[in-house]
Each structure stands twice: as structure tokens, then as C-alpha cells.
């Protein structure tokens, strides 16, 4: 463990300006909400806006050519990152939420019929629930939820029971942002395809933590978000199979996404531009490409191996704390789970825990984590969550658990 820390965490932390200077004693354990940014990502943004700033695809001058080359290079990097067939399958969006909405309002509008069914799980983030609720209501479809089992994992038996010939889409998270469980996507895809259903994968909590290969997983759609990949906010991406994207109508109308515009009709640009109306987040997309390069320079498998050991250590330390209950599978039972622990202490509000930890410069998340249906299933209103990254260290976990013990003792005495 110490060797891994020296090779990954301690070395990588020097790349992140947040942990230098006045913040060198900050303990950031909220990586599942948003990742911190290495200097080279910040520098790439500064370079674009200071010396390469121009619109893409539309200008004949040198700045536009440079901006276009950098922007499209990021698309290629993203395609390679997930082992896409080609960069035409990568659609830049504002975030993963927009990617899900894009599919709901385009594929959903032309494909779904009355009484068709969409399967999602009870552990989904609201961004993978609400768009399907809206399109299901508009198309008079049924939205059906897959249960969570007693171990805090997807109930595959319940999935098999609910999957049928009416199922047109299965949309599930790869790694839950609350339970931390890693869902068996290859099994889900095999079963879904046997029934003629497509599979949408929310990969926001997996892409920065382990290799994700869309061909190996066999999925049809994937949503990713830059800001969880050590990249800038305001940009994400949709991946989908080229043959599916070709059949889908545009999401938004305007400049860039057209081939020709007449007074009474318009025709659409080729992929991927058909789905990218208006001026995109150019600098942010370039920054996402830089972030992907950065992660790959460390190695996703190396990151995954380190974070697995760190997650085991987190669970071991939290297990020492009386009255603390953790949601989701223990890493000893599911080693491939995500690097986070969501927990609660009966009689103590998670916001109080987070605020008191913050007084000691320890940043965690509290609330329902955009997973209200899941929290209702457990009969609790909110939880606290500590989430790790390759820049997290065992000493940070030690500090977290010691402070938690002190906080719980204090709050119990004064309750």
C-alpha cells in the first residue's frame, strides 16, 4: 500500500494546484461530486483563451484552424478513451445530463410507442430518472424500476423478471454514486439484447476510475462528464453507435448542425455535427482532452488497482466507528466497486457531520446525492459520503475517521 501511494498519490498530488500553498492541509474527499484539476488542464484552458481563441469549423483564418484542430483532436482522444469505433460517434454536450436528455428527446421521440417499457434502476442519479419520466409521459410508455438487493447491489433476478419484449431501453449507472456498487453491464447488455432492447450506460462514476471499453461492454449509448475526469465543467459527451445516431433526428436546431437551410426546410450536417448546434464549449472540450491524456499517462488500470486498496482501507477504518452504517457492498464482497463510502449515523444529520468536518478542513458530501428514490428505499432522508481518487491517501482516511469519532461523540453527548 505504501509503495502504491508513493508511485501514484504522492507523485500526482503535486500536479494539482489546489493542494499547494494555502490549501496544502486541505483534505478533499468529494471526488464523486467533482474532481480537482491538474495544472496542465488549467494551462490548456488558459492557452486557448489567451492565444488560440476562435470559433471552430467556420473560419478560414489561422486561429480558427488551430482551434478546430485542437477541438477535434479532443474528440479523437475521447473516442480512443472508451474504444469507440470512430470519433463521429462522440457528441460533445454541456454535461452527461444533457447527453441523457439528448437521447430521450431524439431516439425516444422517434422510437418509443405507447405501452413500450423503459427499465432503470432504483439507484439511479436523478439525471437518469427525470428525462425518462418526461419522455415516458409524453409517449405514454411505462417506466419500470429494477430493485436493489440486500447487499446494496442491482437485483439481477428482478431485472430478469421485468425485462420483456416490450422493453425498448435499459438505462443504468455503471458505478452508483451512492451505493458504490459496480453493475454487471456485460450481463445486463446480453440479456437486454436478447429481448431486442438497447442499453444506455451512465458512466460518470466509472470513467475516471477504471478502463471503460464500449465494445467489450456491448452497450449502445454512454454518457460521460468532463468535470469528473479531472477536466473542466460545462462539457461532457454522448457516445452512441454510428448506425443509431444516423437514424436519430437532431436535438437542437441552429447553426453548425445544418447542411442547407431553405425557407421551408433544412437538411442536417453529417455526424457528429448534426447534434452540436451553435458554438460549443471549445476551450472546455480541449481541456477535457487534456484531462483524458493526463489520466491515461497515469494509467486507468493502475488508478483502479490503487483505489481498490484504498477503498478497502476506508471501509476498515469506518468499521471502527460505533453506530456508523454504510450503504452498498463491502469491497471484500465486491472488489470492483467504486471508491466511495456513503454512511449515516442514526440520530445525527449528515449535514451536521459535513459542517463539523469542514471546520477541520475535511471536505465530504452530505444530502441525498441526487438519489431520493434510493434514500426512500432505505428509509433515510440523507447520508454523508466520502469519495476517493488516485490523489487520495491513507493518511487522509486516518484524519477523516479520527475526526468522525470525535464529532459523533460530541453530537451524541449534546443531543
CB neighbour list of residue 161: distance below 8 Å, 6 or more residues apart: none
Residue 398, pLDDT above cutoff 70: yes
pTM of the model: 0.96
Write out pLDDT tens, residues 327-384. Answer: 999 999 999 999 999 999 989 999 999 999 999 999 999 999 999 999 999 999 999 9
For helices 130-139 and 96-111, the axis angle rounded to 10 degrees is 20
- Cβ neighbour number for residue 158 with a 10 Å cutoff: 16
Write out pLDDT tens, residues 270-289. Answer: 999 999 999 999 999 999 99
Answer for the pair 289, 236: CB distance below 8 angstroms, yes or no: no
The pairing of beta strand 340-345 with beta strand 362-363: unpaired
Distance, C-alpha 39 to centroid of its chain: 22
The CA distance from 403 to 341, in Å, is 16
For helices 300-318 and 394-413, the axis angle rounded to 10 degrees is 30
Residue indicated by cell numbers 419484449: 165
The 3-class SS string of 287-305 reads: HHHHHHHHHHHHCHHHHHH
DSSP 3-state assignment of 409? helix
Question: Per the structure block, which three cell numbers stand in for 395?
Answer: 493518511
DSSP 3-state assignment of 1? coil
Write out pLDDT tens, residues 101-155. Answer: 999 999 999 999 999 999 999 999 999 999 999 999 999 999 999 999 999 999 9
Q: What angle do CA 272, 35, 8 make, to 5 degrees?
A: 110
Active site residues: 370
Nearest to 326 by CA among 178, 123, 205: 178
- Give me the domains of the chain, ranges plus CATH numbers: 2-30+300-413 (3.90.1150.10), 42-296 (3.40.640.10)
Amino acid at each position: 500500500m505504501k509503495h502504491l501511494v508513493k508511485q501514484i498519490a504522492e507523485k500526482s498530488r503535486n500536479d494539482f494546484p489546489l493542494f499547494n500553498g494555502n490549501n496544502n492541509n486541505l483534505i478533499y474527499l468529494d471526488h464523486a461530486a467533482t474532481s480537482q484539476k491538474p495544472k496542465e488542464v488549467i494551462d490548456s484552458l488558459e492557452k486557448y483563451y489567451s492565444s488560440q481563441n476562435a470559433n471552430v469549423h467556420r473560419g478560414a483564418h489561422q486561429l480558427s484552424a488551430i482551434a478546430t484542430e485542437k477541438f477535434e483532436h479532443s474528440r479523437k482522444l475521447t473516442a480512443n478513451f472508451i474504444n469507440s469505433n470512430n470519433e463521429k460517434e462522440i457528441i460533445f454536450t454541456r454535461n452527461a445530463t444533457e447527453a441523457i436528455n439528448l437521447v430521450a428527446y431524439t431516439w425516444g421521440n422517434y422510437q418509443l410507442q405507447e405501452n413500450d417499457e423503459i427499465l432503470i434502476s432504483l439507484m439511479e442519479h436523478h439525471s437518469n430518472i427525470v428525462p425518462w419520466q418526461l419522455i415516458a409521459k409524453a409517449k405514454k410508455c411505462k417506466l419500470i424500476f429494477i430493485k436493489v438487493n440486500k447487499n446494496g447491489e442491482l437485483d439481477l433476478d428482478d431485472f430478469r423478471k421485468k425485462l420483456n419484449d416490450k422493453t425498448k431501453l435499459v438505462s443504468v449507472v455503471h458505478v452508483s454514486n451512492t451505493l458504490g456498487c459496480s453493475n454487471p453491464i456485460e450481463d445486463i447488455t446480453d440479456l437486454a439484447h436478447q429481448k431486442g432492447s438497447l442499453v444506455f450506460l451512465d458512466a460518470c462514476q466509472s470513467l475516471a476510475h477504471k478502463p471503460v471499453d464500449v465494445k467489450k461492454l456491448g452497450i449502445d449509448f454512454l454518457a460521460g462528464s468532463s468535470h469528473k475526469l479531472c477536466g473542466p465543467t460545462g462539457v461532457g459527451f454522448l457516445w452512441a453507435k454510428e448506425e443509431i445516431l444516423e437514424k436519430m433526428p437532431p436535438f437542437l436546431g441552429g447553426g453548425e448542425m445544418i447542411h442547407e437551410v431553405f425557407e421551408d426546410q433544412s437538411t442536417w450536417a453529417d455526424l457528429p455535427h448534426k447534434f452540436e448546434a451553435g458554438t460549443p464549449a471549445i476551450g472546455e472540450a480541449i481541456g477535457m482532452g487534456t484531462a483524458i491524456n493526463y489520466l491515461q499517462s497515469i494509467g486507468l488500470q493502475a488508478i483502479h488497482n490503487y483505489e481498490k486498496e484504498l477503498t478497502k482501507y476506508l471501509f476498515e477504518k469506518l468499521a471502527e466507528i460505533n453506530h456508523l452504517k454504510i450503504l452498498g457492498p463491502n469491497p471484500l464482497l465486491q472488489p470492483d466497486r467504486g471508491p466511495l463510502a456513503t454512511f449515516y449515523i442514526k440520530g445525527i444529520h449528515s449535514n451536521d457531520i459535513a459542517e463539523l468536518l469542514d471546520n477541520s478542513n475535511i471536505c465530504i458530501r452530505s444530502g441525498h446525492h441526487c438519489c431520493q428514490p434510493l434514500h426512500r428505499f432505505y428509509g433515510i432522508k440523507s447520508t454523508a459520503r466520502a469519495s476517493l481518487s488516485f490523489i487520495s491517501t491513507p493518511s487522509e482516511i486516518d484524519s477523516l475517521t479520527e475526526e468522525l469519532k470525535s464529532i459523533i461523540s460530541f453530537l451524541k453527548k449534546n443531543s
